Amino acid sequence: MTNKHDLIQPDRGQTAIAIHLVDKQGLDEWLKGLSGPQRAALSAQKFTGGGFEHAIVPDGEGWFAVGGVADAASLSSWCLAKLAEVLPAGTYPLAPGSDGGDPRPAPFGWLTAQYRFDRYRKEAEAEGPRVLLTADVAGIAAALAEAGAVAKVRDLVNTPAEDMGPAELEAEAEALAKAHAGRHGAELRVTRGDALEREFPMVHMVGRAAARSHAPRMIELEWGDPAHPRIAVVGKGVCFDSGGLDLKPSSAMLLMKKDMGGAAHALALAGLIMGSGLKVRLHLLVPAVENAVSGGAFRPGDVLRSRAGISVEIGNTDAEGRLILGDALARAGEDDPALIVDFATLTGAARAALGPDLPALMARRDETAEALLQAGLASDDPCWRLPLPEAYREYLKSDVADINNSSSNGYAGASVAGLFLDRFVPEGIDWAHFDTFAWRPAAKPGRPKGGEALGLRAVWRMLQGQFGG
C-alpha cells in the first residue's frame, strides 16, 4: 500500500482538481450553477446524485469531479471512498460550499479505499496515489491513526496462517512494546511451554497439537500510568482453526486464517490507545494458538482445567476460541480492571443472525452497551446488541464438569458462547464482548474484500469519550 501519510495533506492552495459532493435532494439547485455543456456531461454519465455515483465535469481547459452522497448535510466516513478508488492519480480538495455537511469523517474513507494487500504480489501498481487536501489540519492525525489501525487489522487477517502464527502475533506485540517504550513504557510478557500449561491450561491444551513452530503462548502487554483506570483488551488469537478432532469440512477451513481476527482487533486498538496517550492503564492479552490435529490434540469428552479453577468438559473441539478466551479473561479480571473488552471471531451463529457487516455485542451493563452502540453509529462502525439470557446457562451444563464448552442444542449459539465467557469474568467487573466476523466477503467503497475491522472504531470512540485523549 502507498504510504498513507502521502494520501492526505493540509490544503495550502496547491494546484488540484476540486471534488463536489451532491445528494439527490440538492442536485437541481446545484445544477443551476453549471453551464449547459456541464449539465449535458452529467446527463451523459447518468449522474443523479445517488450514493457512490460519480462523474467528471469539464471546466474550461480542465475538469472537476462530482460525487453522489446519501445526505450532503450528514456526511459519512465513506462519502469520498468511491472517488478515491476511481479517480485518476492526482491531488484533490473538497470544494468549499459544495455541501452542508461536516467534512471531518471524509478522510478516513479516502485512506481506507486505497488500502492494498500486496505482500504476495509481484506486479506493481500502475497508478500513483490519489491525494486529498483538507483544511481540517487537526483532523489529519486522527484520520491517519484510525485508517492505520484498520489497515493493521486487514494486513494481519489477510496474511495466511503459515506466515501469521502465534510467533508472528508475538512479534506484532513486541513491535508495539518497542514503539511505546517511553514513560510508563509498554512491558511485554509471553508465557510458553511448561509455564503456559501451569498458568493458562486451556490455552496450552488447545494449542498443544500444533507444530513447534506454531507453539501456543499467552501474550500480555501493559502500558500507561498505573494511577489511571485499568482497561483490559483481549483478542482471540486462533491463527488457524482446523476444528481439531471435530474436524471442519474443507469448505469451512478456507477462511480460517482469519480466526485470529480478534487478536488483530486487540493489537490495533492497543496501538491506538498508546499512540494517543489515552489516560488508561492498558492490559492487552492475546492467547495465541493453532487448533491443529495430531496425536497431542485434545479430545471430545476431555475435561480441561482452567486458570479460573472452573473445570470444562469438551463437547466440541471446534469450540476452542471460548476456551482460550476463558483463561485470558480470568487473567484480565485478576487486576480488577474498570473495563474488559474482548474481540473474537467466535460463532457462526452471530453471522447467521446479523450477517457479515454487524458485529454482535454482548455486555453485562446496559450503560456500557449503549455507549458502545452510540459510538459505533457516530463512527460509521455499527454493532448490534445480543442478550446474555440467564435462562440459557443451562444449555452449557455438564454431567462431569462445572461447564461444557458446547451447547446441548442449536439455539442462540452466539449468546450461549457469550454466557460461557461470562463465567470466566469475575463478578462485578464491567465487560463487553464483540463477536466479529473480521472479514468482508464482498467489496464496498472504502472496504475491499478480505480482512476487515468491525467493532474497532466503535470501541475506540467509546474509550475516547470516557477516558479522554
From the list 314, 319, 305, 342, the residue with the least C-alpha distance to 422 is 342
What CA–CA distance (Å, rounded) separates 142 from 150? Answer: 12
Residues in the chain: 469
Helix H or strand E encompassing 132: strand 130-134
Angle formed at CA 81 by CA 268 and CA 361, multiple of 5 degrees: 45
For residue 79, the 8-state DSSP code is T
Classify 376 as helix, strand or coil: helix
What residues are labeled active site? 248, 322
Could you tell me if 311 and 304 are in contact, meaning their C-beta atoms sit under 8 angstroms apart? yes
Distance from C-alpha of 262 to C-alpha of 268, rounded to nearest angstrom: 10
DSSP state of 127: S
How far is the C-alpha of 328 from the C-alpha of 467, rounded, in Å? 23
- Determine contact, residues 339/425, Cβ cutoff 8 Å: no
d(CA 454, CA 467): 21
- CB atoms under 10 Å from CB of 280, counted, come to 25
> Beta-carbon neighbour count of residue 395 at 10 Å?
20
Query: 3-class DSSP state for residue 284?
Result: strand
- With 0-12 / 13-18 / 19 or more C-beta atoms within 10 angstroms meaning exposed / middle / buried, residue 442 is exposed
Angle between helices 456-467 and 366-378 (to 10 degrees): 110
How far apart CA 456 and CA 436 sit, in angstroms, is 10
- Residue 38: helix, strand or coil by DSSP? helix
List the helix and strand counts (H, then E) for the chain.
15, 20
Asked if residue 243 lies in contact with residue 436, where contact means CB atoms within 8 angstroms, the answer is: no
Q: What is the DSSP string of 153-189?
A: HHHHHHS-GGGSSHHHHHHHHHHHHHHT-STT--EEE
- What nine digits make up the cell of 270? 492497543
Secondary structure (3-state) at 449: coil
Exposed, middle or buried, 296 (CB in 10 Å: 0-12/13-18/19+)?
exposed
